[in-house]
Amino acid sequence: MNTEEFQQKSWSPLQKITFRLLFTYIILYVLTLLLSPLLESTLRWFGTNILGYTNEIKLESTGSGDRSFDYVRLVFSLLLTFIITGLWSLLDTKRKNYQQHFNLLTRIIRVILLLAMLLYGFGKLFKGQFADHSFEKLVQTVGELSPMGLAWTFMGHSFAYNIFIALSEIIGGVLLLSKRTKTLGSIIILGVMTNVFMMNMTYDIPVKLVSFHIILLALVLLYTDKDRLLHFFFKNKNVPQSNYEPAFKNPKTQTAVSSIKKLVLVLILATVSIQLLVQFKIRDQLKEKSALYGLWKADSFQKNSQILQPLTNDTYRWEYFIFEEKNKAVIKRMTGEIDRFEVTVDTVKHQLTFSSEKNSDKLMISYKKLNANHLEFKGVFYGDTLTISFKKMTREDFTLTNRKFHWINEQSFQ
């Protein structure tokens, strides 16, 4: 069947309704996602008055894609989809098919997926999504980790594995630039994102809605090649050749679009190559380290002239003092409790000033750096006179980070 005959082919009523629903929903979902700040008042009213949602609906970014706000927006999009589809079906009864609209939808989907895959891929490539193990993470026990924390620790452990996943996502997105390779790109994205979705579902990672919709968009693209895929994978038949028509009839427009695609491809390849060759880490370059940067383990802890032994049930004694970000410190007690503080370091007076959200009082402790690996604190902390000696620990002191790759293993190392 040639292109002209295909364009004239009539669709069944079910195909038409399905397309209207799909087209409307995808466009609405993307628009409401991008325009969320402008729709905040509308969605809050909808959630409160239509859905009867009594809790406060917050738009503020929290790193979660599964907030109450996101589910209210989802239901809003679904309800609006059914209303628009119903009106569309009543008003547009004579059209034979929506092939041109479907072609437009696939182009929109290809752009959305390309941007999403580049965002996810570059996030992993530059270690922005899964960071290296922090000192705080290294001194946590497995039982203290949340399911998401466990997944993030696993993903952040290996830079090489991050590169592998990043390249899979980037290559899948780049293949969507051409009609000839969009099916292969869709298959790669479907595989990668199905794994992501299952991790989100089984490790309680709050990006379930986004990952599900990326899978949905990839499936829509694969549907355009369903017959050829069925022939190749299931029917063991010869795959008919596809005749790809140019997206734009104007030669100048087509040339411009082709040039933009090539430029995007060159920029992506250049960025990936630089990162793989240089392996620079933006987060480390931008992070301004504290003068007392490091993981410090309390060797000796004296409270009001009394020496506290390192007992695991002691709720007061410090186990670690962590100074990983400038002006921020973490105290981990023997029982595993964490206290977070804003800290100002006076390197002239050798003094630390602690403050926290829990207590408005400012606490001052004198410090002395005996050498590169030993630190001492003296001062009054919440009414108690403390004298603490610390020994510096490094990442190499932990099995998780000092255990390197081995080709030969006589037995499992766990």
pLDDT in tens, 184-216: 999 999 999 999 999 999 999 999 999 999 999
Residues 6+ apart with CB under 8 A from 114: 173, 174, 176, 177
pLDDT at 1: 41
pLDDT in tens, 246-269: 666 667 676 776 777 777 777 777
pLDDT at 130: 86
Whether 219 contacts 77, CB under 8 Å = no
Between helices 13-34 and 68-91, what is the axis angle to 10°? 140
Give the pTM: 0.83
Whether 295 contacts 398, CB under 8 Å = no
Q: Dihedrals φ, ψ of 399, to 5°?
A: -60, -35
Which residues of the chain carry a pLDDT beneath 50? 1-6, 286
pLDDT at 64: 83
pLDDT at 4: 44
Whether 190 contacts 211, CB under 8 Å = no
pLDDT at 7: 54
Phi and psi based region of residue 287 (left: phi greater than 0; alpha: psi -120 to 50; beta: remaining): beta
CA gap 169, 116 in Å, rounded: 9
CA gap 294, 348 in Å, rounded: 20
Structural domains in the chain plus CATH codes = 3-278 (no CATH), 294-397 (2.40.128.280)
Q: What is the DSSP letter of 392?
A: E
- 3-state SS, residue 376: strand
CB atoms within 10 A of CB 330: 20
CB atoms within 10 A of CB 261: 14
Q: State the DSSP H helix or E strand holding residue 215, giving kind and residue range, or none if neither.
A: helix 208-223
